[in-house]
Amino acid sequence: MPIRTNRGRAAVYRRLWGWPMRSPTHLMGTIILVAAIMIAAGMLVPRLLDDGGTGVASADGPESTADSVPVVSDTGADPTLDREVLPTRLSEPLATPTSAKPAPEALRVAKRWVTAWATPPEDGSVDSWLEGLRPYTTEEFLPQLRTVDPANIPATKVVGEPEVHESYTSSVQVEVATDGPTLLVTVIETDTGWRVTDYSENSG
């Protein structure tokens, strides 16, 4: 039956508050109960707070991550840097060879070189053949001639005089006819004089 008067409620409160004081056993039981409630609350409240904080962090995580990622712009580079390092066009035109009258010494060297080229060595060795070419050949081109077998050269002598194919101030291309193919010989001016730096069989 519910208590409907203030007086009745006050009497009930006095009985509840006075119950622990009735005996040492009641007091001890009350203390243990209160301690148990406080311990349980101390264990549950932090867990509830942690769960709530994690949920909030998870909800805000993607947005905060997106806000913290820096945006790199492709247009951030200085456009003048590329132009300075890699110029788009040449500031000066490339030098072109200057045509000139062929040097007589260049023609003599070309003829002597082809004569040595077409002359087979007495011992048939490559070394002897190269020694005959050495006075008229650049040091850079001489090792490349080592791959040539003198026994396979389809000529034995020069026929006719050298003819100029192209002539510049420091190089001359000369055609020299043999009793086999006609050679197109490139002669350049070096510190030691005119020397042969290349040759090919002229098919024209």
DSSP string of 128-195? HHHHHHGGGB-TTTGGGGGG--GGG-S-SSB-S--EEEEEBSSEEEEEEEBSSPEEEEEEEEETTEEE
What's the pLDDT tens digit per position in 104-128?
Answer: 999 999 999 999 999 999 998 999 9
Band of residue 19 on the pLDDT scale cut at 50, 70, 90: low
- The residue with tokens 């510049």 is 168
Which residues, in sequence order, are bridge partners of residue 26? Answer: none
Cβ neighbour number for residue 105 with a 10 Å cutoff? 13
E strand or H helix at 197? strand 193-201
Cβ neighbour number for residue 143 with a 10 Å cutoff? 10
Q: Looking at per-residue confidence, does 52 or 162 come out higher?
A: 162
Average pLDDT value for residue range 48-56: 63
3-state class percentages of the chain: helix first, strand second, coil last, to nearest 5: 50, 15, 30
Specify the DSSP class assigned to residue 39.
Answer: H
DSSP string of 77-119? S-HHHHHHHS-SS-SSPPP-PPB-PPPHHHHHHHHHHHHHHHS
What's the pLDDT tens digit per position in 126-155?
Answer: 999 999 999 999 999 999 999 999 999 999
Q: Is the pLDDT of residue 166 over 50?
A: yes
CA distance 122 to 159: 21
Cβ neighbour number for residue 131 with a 10 Å cutoff? 13
Which pair of structure tokens corresponds to residue 165?
């194919």
CA distance 18 to 27: 10
At 201, is the secondary structure helix, strand, or coil? strand
Which pair of structure tokens corresponds to residue 114?
């082809």
- The residue with tokens 């311990």 is 39
Q: Which is it for strands 171-177 and 163-167: parallel, antiparallel or unpaired?
A: antiparallel
Note if the pTM is more than 0.75.
no
What's the pLDDT tens digit per position in 20-37?
Answer: 666 778 778 778 887 888
What number of residues does the chain have? 204
